[in-house]
Amino acid sequence: MAAVEAETNHERGKLGFSLDVPFPSSLEASIALRSLSPDKEPRRGGISKQLSVSGSTLSVRWSADEARILRVSVNSFLVHLSLVIETMDMFGPAVSQ
């Protein structure tokens, strides 16, 4: 019950932001997801971020209290994403496992 309540509060009156990133294949999208997921948003930062992969698309959904905090988070995510893609371009493709 508490989880449902928290989820409802979470959405109400919050800023939302969605981003879809296409990758050549689902393998690359999953690698990017696992590279970008481990570092959590700062606690008590008034922001949350959900990453998921569907097919070859990496999707990110933000929910934030303030535009200022949202901008910082989205900006740093895009910077990190660029570095991951650059790394894949230079040191890929992934070996078959």
Partner 1 sequence: MTVVIGFEGSANKIGIGIIRDGEVLSNPRRTYITPPGQGFMPSDTARHHRAVILTVLKEALEQAGLKPADIDCVAYTKGPGMGAPLVTVALVARTVAQLWGKPLLGVNHCIGHIEMGRLITQANNPTVLYVSGGNTQVIAYSERRYRIFGETIDIAVGNCLDRFARVIKISNDPSPGYNIEQMAKKGSQYVELPYTVKGMDVSFSGILSYIEEVAHKMLSSGQCAAEDLCFSLQETLFSMLVEITERAMAHCGSQEVLIVGGVGCNLRLQEMMGVMCKERGAKLFATDERFCIDNGAMIAQAGWEMFRSGQVTELEDSWITQRYRTDEVEVTWRD
Q: Shortest Cβ distance from residue 11 to partner 1 (Å)?
A: 26
Q: 26-65 mask for partner 1 (x: CB under 8 A)?
A: -----xx-xxxxxxx-------------------------
Give yes or no for a contact between 47 and 69, defined as CB atoms under 8 angstroms apart.
yes
Q: Shortest Cβ distance from residue 31 to partner 1 (Å)?
A: 4
Measuring CA to CA, how many Å separate 50 from each of 21, 36, 93? 14, 11, 26
Measured between alpha carbons, how far is 81 from 37 in angstroms, rounded to an integer?
11
Contact positions vs partner 1 (CB under 8 A): 31-32, 34-40, 79-80, 83-84, 86-88, 90-95, 97
